[in-house]
Structure 1
């Protein structure tokens, strides 16, 4: 099953000016506490960690827990002094890992 992520951010920003980044990934976020219709406990399947890096340098990270809803949405502010590549990684249970990259143009 392919995972879908949506990342919203400006195409270009001014050097030193703060800008908002919004990111969400399609994921069920099963807590492991629910049971199926047959009474079988559904296994835990969570996104546990989100990281955003600018040219390899960590600029934002979040640890996620069972209380986070399906399709976790994160919004955060960044400030950059130079153009580069933003990379986004979601990691979770059962070997889940999803990567996205976006170019960042700083004027």
Structure 2
């Protein structure tokens, strides 16, 4: 999936700040299609992994209760400007994506 993650990562002193949005439908499997009346199949992110220079700094287990196009924001210590930050996700349908950026 192309362009489905946007990340901004920057340092403030000894702390890195990360803000990211993942473009994903996050369907619970409980809603019905208004035209057909049939249930829309469940399609949601199950795992998000955030890495700094290849080391995991955050791992989240999500489910159908997370909203469409989820936004995540957090901070961690030990990053420097120019370091690599990567966010990856997997969903319940076997799809996945990853986006890498340099910390500014």
TM-score, normalising length from structure 1? 0.82
Structure 1 unaligned regions, length at least 5: none
Q: Give the unaligned 5+ runs of structure 2.
A: none
Aligned alpha-carbon RMSD (Å): 1.9
Q: How many residues in Structure 1 have an aligned counterpart in Structure 2?
A: 102
SS at match of 2:18: strand
TM-score scaled to structure 2, two decimals?
A: 0.85
1:68 to 66, 69, 84: 66
Instruction: Give CA-to-partner distance per residue, 1:34-62, whole Å, 9 cap, x none.
Output: 11121211110001111111222111111
SS in structure 1 at match of 2:93: helix
CA contact (8 A) 2:26 2:69 kept: yes
